[in-house]
Amino acid sequence: MTHRFKLDLPRRPRRLRRSSALRELSCETRLEVARLIQPLFVKAGEGKPEPIASMPGMFRLTIPQLVEECRTLCSLGVSAVALFPKIEAALKREDGREALNPSNLNLQAIQTLKQALPEMTVIADLALDPYTTHGHDGLLDRNSGEIANDATVEVLAEMAVLAAHAGADMVAPSDMMDGRVGAIRAALDASDFENTAIMAYSAKFASAYYGPFRDAVGSKNAVSEVPLNKGSYQLNPANRREALAEVELDESEGADVLMVKPAGPYLDVIREVREATDLPLAAYQVSGEYAQIMAAAENGWLDLKACRDESLLAIRRAGADVILSYFAKAYAEDFAANAP
């Protein structure tokens, strides 16, 4: 069939989409392996890696296994990890005192990893939820039952100094207490750790997407079968302007890197933060984002690699400089396998 009709179009955007070479040439956003951070879970003792049922492909690792996993990550070009400990139940207390034990699991892991792989950037999480019996990110006021902001900040500052002593390159307060970035910066500087950076969880929302992570670190339903409500300190998912105010405060208090968490459901916030600051911006593709893609792929409903890569690219396109993602290793492996 012959078509004689022809539009008079001076611009035809499809010209640059005609071939893979042209599409590559006109690509606006690229996702490099070096921009990915792999979150890892560490456990005490020995034994095999412990699978996390709600996060297929993720494991709790002993410290020796953690070191070997990081060797592999380094070889793939993933040069930064964020560590999260699974504390034994017998060590948990209402006041989370194990967090300040200089020989606790997380600090041992940081020290061992930095000794074995000094080139690996190690990010230490600062929050009390792995250490408390109630599973909250801060200390509970016994009289009011609320999270005590200033008392929690005091503990977080001590945790930061301990992490720096152990060798952490960066500390990451994930608690959302008021004033914690300034207090942590002051404590680090006073202890001669001026070069230890702060990656602030600046816009961390009270999200329903954290469930698998809480399984992984053992903080889910710590008090009862009712899911924890962290809405008194984490951000309301409905609030965009409040998120920008939190970002501004963290920057003014000395944060080196800002973060939005979760990533995928908050691409609009990532974009607005990117336009509001010149600081490096991280975004955390959280456990629930990972789990839903994995579950759909396991059921044959989605193409795992295609959806994984599209989800990461969207976060990068929104403005994130770096992405914390449980997909980091798998993405790096595929990138290496397809390299010319």
Residues serving a catalytic function are: 204, 261
Extract the tokens encoding 94: 């209402």
CA 142, CA 145: separation in Å to the nearest integer? Answer: 5
With b for 16 or more beta-carbon neighbours within 10 A and e for fewer, the 166-190 pattern comes to bbbbbbbbbbbbeebbbbbbebbee
| DSSP-derived secondary structure letter, 138 | S
- Burial (0-12, 13-18, 19+ Cβ within 10 Å), 124: buried
Q: Facing residues of 147 across strands?
A: 140
CA 168, CA 170: separation in Å to the nearest integer? Answer: 5
Look-up of token digits 């053992």: 218
SS (H, E, C) 165-212: HHCCCEEEECCCCCCHHHHHHHHHHHCCCCCCEEEEEEEEECCHHHHH
CA 181, CA 252: separation in Å to the nearest integer? Answer: 9
Give strand ranges (E) for 79-196. Answer: 80-86, 121-126, 170-173
| DSSP-derived secondary structure letter, 67 | H
